[in-house]
Amino acid sequence: MTPTATPIPSLARCDWLTAPSLARLFAAIERDDETCWVVGGAVRNALLGLAVTDVDVATTARPEVVTARAHAAGLKPVPTGIDHGTVTVVVDGHPYEVTTLREDVETHGRHATVRFGRDWAADAHRRDFTMNALYASRDGVVHDFVGGVADCMARRVRFIGDPAARIAEDYLRILRFFRFHAAYGRGGLDPGGLHAAIVARAGLDGLSAERLGQEMAKLVVTVGAPATATAMSDCGILQRVTGRAANLAAFVRLHALAAATGRPARERAEAPLFLAALAVWSEGDAVGLGARLRLSNKATERMAAAVAASRRVGADLDARAARRLLHAVGGEAYRDGLVLAHVRGRLPRAAMTPHLDLADTWPVPRLPIGGRDLTSLGVTGGPRVGRLLMLAERAFVASDFSLDRDGLLTLIRDEIGRRDGVRDP
């Protein structure tokens, strides 16, 4: 089928489209009737005036042809998804995912069985949302087979074709529908898509924990996540995914705080804190949610540490107690705990701010003595050394970190003498 071009708007002046590395890639593959177009997120983001970070390429060339031509041009092809037609081609250190045009042969709610093709319209119609099925050729012309340009400009996240049929092909599209609306949509959710998502929500139960976790980690940090999470909760989808009640008020306040303070709310690294605010009430909840969404150990530990630290924070937190908390839990858990306590209504904003500043201005002190100092005093045996160091640590903290090395060693000598029944002269 001959593609229909939508010449306006043109992306011809976009830096990413004129990058020398992309030109090398196109030059290597586009010959002998093979064609390459940029597809998906890069085109969508360019039309929306958003930053373009990843450039994906669709092509009529089969994966083995892409691989051979990349090799011949001195590029580095990596078969990252060869069964689905994807070869990552590294050009001048820049990776491009190059995927052969596809058609679905069989779908079963989780992954599709595909065959390779040469029909651009067929490739477009197998994608999820109209705004994700846009292509751009090297001359900057945007090619639209599904009405994606109009939806993109209207900030409308809409399924291609029948929403129920598209969701039945892969139930993860339910979460993607909410996530893309939170990231790119304006106004209410598309009614047809929302209805289909509600009807098919039981299909989420058959998806892998990893896929659910990846989508939720992306969703909770998007700028539109508060309203979207509320909609998901209202229709029972949020609870189905997290397995627990949501604290929507705290989640909304965290996003408001992030917007007001410039905290990097839309960075993936912040996802554990946003998940904790949304659906973690205890350290046990953190472990449960981490397992349910197959989150990394690091993410699960961060959620648990944030909740534990927040429980030590109240409106009466003073500077001395703040220093003790920061020393005990470390900078990340301390900041997370303060923020979580604030968004859950236990710490006013005015009280939180100076305590947050402490983490940036106060170098957390270390105990001025160690095991060698105790050995020099004649202390032997690991357990005894450990007990005396714990005693020194407690005294160091109780002194608000003012006890120096000499003072701590004097305390240790006195303790040794007391336990041995002998006092140093």
Asked if the model's pLDDT at residue 318 lies above 60, the reply is yes
C-alpha span between 420 and 111 (Å, rounded): 71
Q: How confident is the model at residue 21 (pLDDT cuts 50, 70, 90)?
A: very high
Q: How confident is the model at residue 416 (pLDDT cuts 50, 70, 90)?
A: confident
Share of the chain above pLDDT 70, in %: 92
Per the DSSP assignment, residues forming a β-bridge with 135 are: 39, 143
Q: How confident is the model at residue 306 (pLDDT cuts 50, 70, 90)?
A: very high
Residue 90's Cα: distance from chain center in Å?
Answer: 24
In this predicted structure, what is the pLDDT of residue 83? Answer: 78
Q: How confident is the model at residue 376 (pLDDT cuts 50, 70, 90)?
A: confident
Give the chain's domains with CATH numbers: 1-154 (3.30.460.10), 311-361 (no CATH), 371-420 (no CATH)
Mean local confidence (pLDDT), 398-424: 81
Predicted TM-score (pTM) of the model is: 0.86
Q: How confident is the model at residue 7 (pLDDT cuts 50, 70, 90)?
A: very low
C-alpha span between 263 and 271 (Å, rounded): 12
Q: Which residue has the higher pLDDT, 264 or 112?
A: 112
Give residue-wise pLDDT tens across range 102-127.
886 655 555 656 789 899 999 999 99
Q: Strands 94-100, 56-59: parallel, antiparallel or unpaired by DSSP?
A: parallel
136: helix, coil or strand?
strand
